[in-house]
Structure 1
């Protein structure tokens, strides 16, 4: 069992002296993409492992109980029965890492998964996702509402104004209050990297989020112009590694936004393995926020097994 990150006292000295070499980041990512790849005979296994780390997500304006029911069904049975049998995966043994919904839909997801008898966590975005533009009091109340409704994981958004302005102590204090509001639910802090201007800000915001007790740090809401990129991901992984070296605590990582294909998943998993090790290929420390990704993984798994892509109507309903 991985010990939960309790957070540490704010270390502004560490934050303020941190700098990121953009060219070194670019070179390292290019090196990973060209020098490290999943061998062809292992790709099937890696794609199945990729399913296990998906936070299967719906964050649409027309979400309703029926949408959530279908989402939970797909999380519990991510592959068709025929494909599961062909892959020698007992039906019901493969599931996604979590389902992620708005706070108002948490109760629907929690009830559905309970009735199905599946131990799949319900994650909820909160704190006025995606902008975070509301008072701290309202953002904290939204966290508490989601937890009371059954959420075991809370994806909060940081106050980007504070991060861009270098007001790190204020940001730290807000996140500490959010962590308290989460209680036993794990807190995944969304940095919205596309709005932080520089990779150095991404690194500093990662440190602040972990110091405040985040269980995961997450790249994006999926609503920004720039979402998860391997460059931002590498910087966040390096911050996770530095935090672990200094404190002994392992913090999880979640890229989200624009991850749609099997090749995307393999690239992110390769980054995790090379930068953080095999522990970061498991749902305890690695998640991918996605909605359409699962369909692409199933189609590619089908192609590798049968030589043909399955039709949309042959896949579990999204």
Structure 2
């Protein structure tokens, strides 16, 4: 895979940026969520769709290409980030890729805190894999506003090509959509050429209707991706929340012609769960969204389980988890 090909991992290399639009409060207030119907649709999905053998292996490799390989621990070190980046470059063992007839498979991005951007950029040099940085007082988003904006600017300056921001949940819980819109517009401007993923922290928004409205407002304000969670909440990515956000993305596309990316994060650690999310994307948004420029998993342990499943596909045997370490 050439560097030019790898650069298609960057959303801006494939999709035009979301320019945003004026805040349309009438549209926002029309948004509703039928919780029972949403939960029923989400509950039946895993049992209605399955893939096996070669097709399953192909879908799992697709999932690998859509992972934002993440480390967001208080004890992160440059050494740990270097090892994670080595895994990002070679996410699946070479012998397994050879057996599958694949070459050049990488993850979608590496996601780190601000202080780890420099070692990540150095470790990924020449790979075309972008560095994503969490920002704006992650995970609570309660630091002073000017510091949150400055944090974005510093991360972009340090080399982050994607910024995962957290919104102020209070704006959603109080229905202050103007404040949420203005906040998101400011964050989008601070990102410059870097793509911005808006983390809604859906587990803290109270209702599915709030989730749908928050996603729509963030898209109106220029978000390139909408993301479920920080991974630090008690409830993170779920299928009902994903269905609500995906349909908001679909509605925004139908009204504006602009494709917005989607990123579920937190709690997705099994290969079978990744397959379910990919099927949901395919059914609700279509094949165009099944690419790293429009869909990402926020995950770390997920990759290890996918690699185990791929080894089973190739050899017929399951291996121990330590054979597929992150670094």
SS at match of 2:276: helix
Show the counterpart of 1:246: 255
Q: Do structure 1's residue 282 and structure 2's residue 291 form an aligned pair?
A: yes
- The equivalent position to 1:118 in structure 2, one of 124, 127, 130, is 127
Distance 1:317 1:29 in 2: 31
Q: Deviations for 1:271-304, whole angstroms, at most 9, x for unmatched residues?
A: 0000000111110100000011111000110011
What TM-score, normalized to structure 1?
Answer: 0.96
Cα drift, residue 30 of structure 1: 2.8
2:77 aligns with 64
- Map Cα deviations across residues 234-287 of structure 1 (whole Å, 9 max, x no partner): 000010000001111000000000000000100000100000001111101000
Shift of 1:310: 2.7
Q: 1:227 maps to which residue?
A: 236
- 1:16 aligns with 29
Q: Does 1:201 align with 2:210?
A: yes
Q: Which runs of 5+ in 1 are unaligned?
A: none
Aligned counterpart, 2:105: 94
Q: Is the 8 A contact 1:38 1:270 kept in 2?
A: no
Contact 2:113/2:133 (8 A) holds in 1: yes
Per-residue deviation at 1:37? 2.6
Q: How far, CA to CA, are the matches of 1:317 and 1:242 in structure 2? A: 37
State the Cα deviation string for residues 143-166 of structure 1 (Å, max 9, x = none): 011100000000000000111110
Deviations 1:7-32 (A, max 9, x none): 00000111112111101101222342
1:144-155 matched pairs, under 5 angstroms: 144-155=153-164
* 1:25 matched to 2:38: yes
CA distance in 1, matches of 2:323, 2:209: 46
- Report the equivalent of 2:320: 311
**Which consecutive segments of 4 or more residues in structure 1 shift more than 4 A?**
none
Task: Report the 3-state secondary structure (helix = DSSP H, G, I; strand = E; otherwise coil) of the residue aligned with 1:206.
Answer: helix
Q: Which residue of 2 aligns with 1:37?
A: 50
Whether 1:268 and 2:277 are equivalent positions in the alignment is yes
Among 107, 120, 133, the alignment partner of 1:109 is 120
Q: Which moved more, 1:26-35 or 1:222-231?
A: 26-35
Q: CA deviation at 1:35?
A: 2.5
- What is the RMSD of the two structures over their aligned residues, measured on CA atoms? 1.1
Name the CA distance, whole Å, in 2 between partners of 1:40 and 1:81: 20
Q: Is there any run of 5+ residues in structure 2 with no aligned partner, and where?
A: 1-13
**Distance of 2:155 and 2:172 partners within structure 1:** 25
**Does the Cα contact within 8 Å between 1:261 and 1:297 map onto a contact in 2?**
yes
Deviation of 1:64 after TM superposition, in Å, equals 1.0
Distance in 1 between the 2:220 and 2:188 partners?
11
What is the distance in 2 between the residues matched to 1:309 and 1:195? 38
Whether the 8 Å contact between 2:53 and 2:313 is mirrored in structure 1 is no
Of the candidates 258, 273, 284, which is equivalent to residue 267 of structure 2?
A: 258
- 1:49 aligns with 62
Q: Is the 8 A contact 1:153 1:188 kept in 2?
A: yes
The TM-score with structure 2 as length reference comes to: 0.94
Whole-angstrom CA distance in 2 between matches of 1:314 and 1:23: 42
Distance in 2 between residues matched to 1:227 and 1:38, nearest whole Å: 26
